[in-house]
Structure 1
Amino acid sequence: MGVHVAGLNETTRAFEKAGVDVEELKDAMGAVAAEGADVMQGFIRKGATRKLHDSVRGNRAKGRAIVTAGRARVQYAGPQIYGWPRRNIKPSRTIEQTDAVMEQRAPELLEQGWEEIAKRNGLL
C-alpha cells in the first residue's frame, strides 16, 4: 500500500546537488507524513482502543513519508490495521482509505514544500 510520487528521487537528488540541507527535505516529507497520520487517525474504527488511535504517527525521512501505528504497549495494532495473513485476519480499510485521500494531497504538499525550499535557497 502507499502513494507513489513520480520524480521524487530525482527532485531530492537535485536539491542535494544544489546544496540544500537534508533537514529541509525532511521537513517537506514530515508535512506529508503528519497529514497522513491525521487522516489515518480519522479512519481508525471507533471500537479501537484510544491507545491505538494515539499511537499513529508520521516520520521525517528525506525520501519518503511513512505513517506507522502501534508500539510495544499497543499489542493489536498490526492485526487491526495491517492484517495478519498467517492467522487469516483481514486488514481494515484504514490504509486504503488513507491512501485514497493522500494520493491527491501528498503531491500538493510536496510541491508546496519544495517551492518554499527553493525560494529560501535562492533557486527560484
Structure 2
Amino acid sequence: MAAPVTVKVEGLNKTIRALRQSGADMQDMKDLMHEIGTLIVNAAQPPVKSGALAGSIRAGRGATKAVVRAGGVKAKYAGVQNYGWPARNIPGTRFLNEAAEAQKGNAISTLDQGIGEILRRNDLQ
C-alpha cells in the first residue's frame, strides 16, 4: 500500500507554537487547515458508481495539519479505491493523492496568506 501524501512546511510547528504563546485564537488555525483540506476535497475525483464515496470525502479541522478523510459506514471501500488491494488484483485510483498533488501550490499559497492574516489580526506582524 502506498503512503499517504504528506507536505511538510518547514517552520510551521514553530509558527504555531509562537501563535499559541502570543494568545492567538487557535480556532483561526483550525479554520485555515480546514480551508486547505477543502481545496483537496473539491479537487478529488473518485470513481463514481453510486456517489457514496464522493459524498464521504471531507476535510478535518486540525490546528496543526490539514487532513482529508474518505469513507465511513456507507463507503467502507474508500481505502481500497484509493490505494488498491494487490492481493485481490484491485488497482488503486489514487484519487485523493492526485487531488493533493494537484492542489499543492494552492494549499501552500492559502497557508501563507492565512498565516499572514492571522498574524495581522493578532498584531504579530
Global fold match (TM > 0.5): yes
In the alignment, the residues of structure 2 paired with residue 11 and residue 85 of structure 1 have an alpha-carbon distance, to the nearest angstrom, of 41
Which of 6, 9, 14 is 1:10 aligned to? 14
Match of 2:37 in 1: 33
Q: Which runs of 5+ in 2 are unaligned?
A: none
Q: Aligned pair 1:77/2:81, yes or no?
A: no
Map 1:1-124; keep pairs closer than 5 Å.
1-40=5-44, 43-45=45-47, 47-85=48-86, 87-124=88-125
| Other structure's SS at 1:123 match | coil
After superposing the two structures, state which structure 1 stretch, 57-66 or 99-108, moved more. 99-108
| Other structure's SS at 1:12 match | helix
CA positional deviation for 1:37 = 0.9
CA positional deviation for 1:85 = 4.7
CA positional deviation for 1:86 = 5.0
> How many residue pairs were aligned?
121
- Give deviations 1:38-62, integer Å, cap 9, x for gaps: 111xx212x3331111110001100
TM-score by length of 2: 0.85
In the alignment, the residues of structure 1 paired with residue 64 and residue 25 of structure 2 have an alpha-carbon distance, to the nearest angstrom, of 13
| % same residue | 35
What is the alpha-carbon root mean square deviation over aligned residues?
Answer: 1.7
CA positional deviation for 1:69 = 0.7
Q: Which runs of 5+ in 1 are unaligned?
A: none
In the alignment, the residues of structure 2 paired with residue 53 and residue 102 of structure 1 have an alpha-carbon distance, to the nearest angstrom, of 18
